[in-house]
Amino acid sequence: GAVVSQHPSWVICKSGTSVKIECRSLDFQATTMFWYRQFPKQSLMLMATSNEGSKATYEQGVEKDKFLINHASLTLSTLTVTSAHPEDSSFYICSARLLRDYPSYNEQFFGPGTRLTVL
């Protein structure tokens, strides 16, 4: 259980175009999903918290107009990188939080990641 998928697994696009990445929780409902970015040989950096039915909460330094997040259902969140540039090339990973009975702990299950390359 607690499987999270991402699509696509990799994408190559031209500079200036937009790219949409999907994150799905396959066997559970997730009111909260998270989007991370990981550069080579570095750790995961949280970009934003996506809440179903409300606006995403972005971390400091992350441009909300550039990284559009939509969490339209309890099993799907999307990240759209708008007007992509080469410096946006990275490994984007989503996670979905599995809520358990009280006390609730922040147990997150991660997707396989999406490799974005902007030419």
Partner 1 sequence: GESVGLHLPTLSVQEGDNSIINCAYSNSASDYFIWYKQESGKGPQFIIDIRSNMDKRQGQRVTVLLNKTVKHLSLQIAATQPGDSAVYFCAENNGGFQKLVFGTGTRLLVSP
| 14-22, 62-70, 77-85, 104-112 -> range binding partner 1 (CB under 8 A) | 104-112
Determine, following the binding rule CB under 8 A, whether residue 6 of this chain makes contact with partner 1.
Answer: yes
The answer to whether the Cα torsion of 51, 55, 56, 57 is positive or negative is negative
The distance of Cα 13 from the centroid of its chain, to the nearest Å, equals: 18
Cis status, amide bond into 40, omega within 30 of 0: no
Please report how close the Cβ of residue 104 comes to partner 1 at its closest, in angstroms.
Answer: 9
Site for partner 1 in 27-86 (CB under 8 A): 32, 34, 41-46, 49
Contacts of 36 (CB under 8 A, 6+ apart): 44, 45, 46, 47, 92, 93, 94, 95
| 11-19, 70-78, 80-88, 91-99 -> range binding partner 1 (CB under 8 A) | 91-99
Please report how close the Cβ of residue 43 comes to partner 1 at its closest, in angstroms.
Answer: 4
| 13-21, 69-77, 78-86, 109-117 -> range binding partner 1 (CB under 8 A) | 109-117
Please report how close the Cβ of residue 42 comes to partner 1 at its closest, in angstroms.
Answer: 6
Strand, helix or coil for residue 92: strand
